[in-house]
Structure 1
Amino acid sequence: MKKPELVIFDMAGTTVYDGGSPVHRCLRESLASAGVAVTHEQVNAVMGLPKPDAIRQLLICGSESRVAEIHAYFVERMIAYYKTNASVREIEGTSLVLVKLRKAGIKVALDTGFSRDIADVIIERLGWRLLLDGSVTSDEVPRGRPHPDMVLALMSRFGILSASHVAKIGDTPSDLHEGTSANCGWVIGVCEGSHTREELAVHPHTQLLPSLRDLLMLWGI
């Protein structure tokens, strides 16, 4: 059975359970602090994007200094949340999946629409530093999702020449579009995060799985 050389996982909603939509809430609160009201549906439509891009889209119009100010407020709130909230934990079975994939000779990495400062707080909080081969965040590449830059950066880091040997896993449409734009061999949506199977099904993918744990069966691991 063909297996990937590299599996790239999203964070919030895919590998990280954070107690019920704090990203939505913090984005809405950050925009509200600038006098901008947005709905849950509007925020859901930009989930997975680099957060400055998400803020830019939700503002519709606004200066870059305003985007930067709102993003700084968002980052501050998210770091405090991920450091202290008792509900933050890995999605059930994540560590087991990471360990088993690596034992099968497969590299595992994270990519995220968060900036590095938020991602590092989560990785440390969950004790994942030794379980991962690497990670990349949206502020470390020229373009975040839905562009392929984070996937390509990880491929370069591990010396993987063809994206047909890479799997991209996520719970948002932007994850699926990222994997598709990179020409990943597997573009897999998991349906226990921010979007339902029906919501993900209309976006490009190779598989939709009920949970992360189903990956092992998919590759016979």
Structure 2
Amino acid sequence: MAFELAVFDMAGTTVHDPDLVTQALTEALGAFGCQVSAAKVRLLMGYTKPAAIRSLLSEHDFAADDAQVDAVHADFVERMLHCYRNGNDVRPMAGAEDVFAQLRGAGIRVAVNTAFSRDIAETLIGRFGWRTRGLIDDATSADQVAEGRPAPDMIRQLMLRNGVTDPRRVVKVGDTEVDIREGRRAGCGLVIAVTTGAYGREQLEPYQPDALLDSLAELPPLLASFVPGQTR
């Protein structure tokens, strides 16, 4: 069965991010008085950031009502926008742009989705010129759907906008366990995890992705040789 759409996560998957998300979220919580370890924050990578903030505030016995969550999230967004606009180490993940071009050349539409808000996602897309250079077909973010990961809403939105009706013709690629669960809940024909971001191989294997890659460069040959029901 030919694939029609590939949906890629951003930070840690297609965007090289030297732990800036963890740092910004830790600092935003700290500014509110909630001291959280970076290790705790990393456990929630891939989830929508308001949901992660709410969970961390509650875990540390802070008020986690909408007003408090919104205040911390607004601080986080400002920190991320500054980092992503100005950070010298922020760049496309090695091999990502070549993979985008190869997939589009093979007739597979390419989209990115993210647990970030739209303003952060569009800052990265604009900085890298992914739309203007014809490297991606579409993008969405958690604040543009009813429910973020692990709900399948973002993938279904991208399918609808790109004329894909069969989820088995969709490939989902991400670097966290919640990316894997998102792909499964959407019914994607292939759910792939990469070890380039938040989690290592030993952390991702228990969630049983269809394939576990150490580099995005491994993706095109995998798709070319893919046999349904076979895992790698």
TM class by smaller structure: over 0.9
Counterpart secondary structure, 1:195 = coil
Counterpart secondary structure, 1:160 = coil
- Aligned partner of 1:81 in structure 2 is 83
- Aligned partner of 2:130 in structure 1 is 128
Distance in 2 (CA, whole Å) between partners of 1:205 and 1:3 is 19
Letter in 2 for 1:152: R
1:37 CA drift (Å): 1.1
1:145 CA drift (Å): 0.4
1:44-55 matches, cutoff 5 A? 44-55=42-53
1:156 aligns with 2:160: yes
Counterpart secondary structure, 1:109 = strand
Counterpart secondary structure, 1:92 = coil
Counterpart secondary structure, 2:191 = strand
Verify the 8 A CA contact 1:177 1:204 in the aligned structure 2.
no
Letter in 1 for 2:43: A
Letter in 2 for 1:68: D
Verify the 8 A CA contact 1:3 1:219 in the aligned structure 2.
no
- Aligned partner of 2:7 in structure 1 is 8
1:204 CA drift (Å): 3.6
Q: Give the total of aligned pairs.
A: 219
1:194-205 matches, cutoff 5 A? 194-205=198-209
Distance in 2 (CA, whole Å) between partners of 1:148 and 1:32 is 31
Q: Deviations over 1:44-79 (max 9, x none)?
A: 111011111111111114111000000000000100
1:158 CA drift (Å): 1.2
1:41 CA drift (Å): 2.1
1:217 aligns with 2:216: no
Verify the 8 A CA contact 2:196 2:215 in the aligned structure 1.
yes
Verify the 8 A CA contact 1:167 1:185 in the aligned structure 2.
yes
Verify the 8 A CA contact 2:48 2:142 in the aligned structure 1.
yes
- Aligned partner of 2:196 in structure 1 is 192
TM-score by length of 2: 0.92
Runs of 4+ in 1 over 4 A off after TM superposition: none
- Aligned partner of 1:179 in structure 2 is 183
Distance in 1 (CA, whole Å) between partners of 2:64 and 2:48 is 17
Distance in 2 (CA, whole Å) between partners of 1:62 and 1:13 is 27
Verify the 8 A CA contact 1:180 1:204 in the aligned structure 2.
no
1:42 aligns with 2:46: no
Which runs of 5 or more structure 1 residues have no equivalent in the other structure?
none
Letter in 2 for 1:114: F
Q: Deviations over 1:169-210 (max 9, x none)?
A: 000111111001111111100012111011001114111111
Letter in 2 for 1:24: T
Letter in 2 for 1:173: E
Which runs of 5 or more structure 2 residues have no equivalent in the other structure?
226-232
- Aligned partner of 2:229 in structure 1 is none
Distance in 1 (CA, whole Å) between partners of 2:14 and 2:93 is 5
1:63-82 matches, cutoff 5 A? 63-82=65-84
Distance in 1 (CA, whole Å) between partners of 2:222 and 2:12 is 20
How high is the sequence identity, in percent, across the aligned residues?
44
- Aligned partner of 2:118 in structure 1 is 116
- Aligned partner of 1:167 in structure 2 is 171
Counterpart secondary structure, 1:136 = strand
1:143 CA drift (Å): 0.3
Verify the 8 A CA contact 2:95 2:215 in the aligned structure 1.
no
Counterpart secondary structure, 2:216 = coil
1:126 CA drift (Å): 1.1
TM-score by length of 1: 0.96
Match among 96, 99, 107 for residue 98 of structure 2: 96
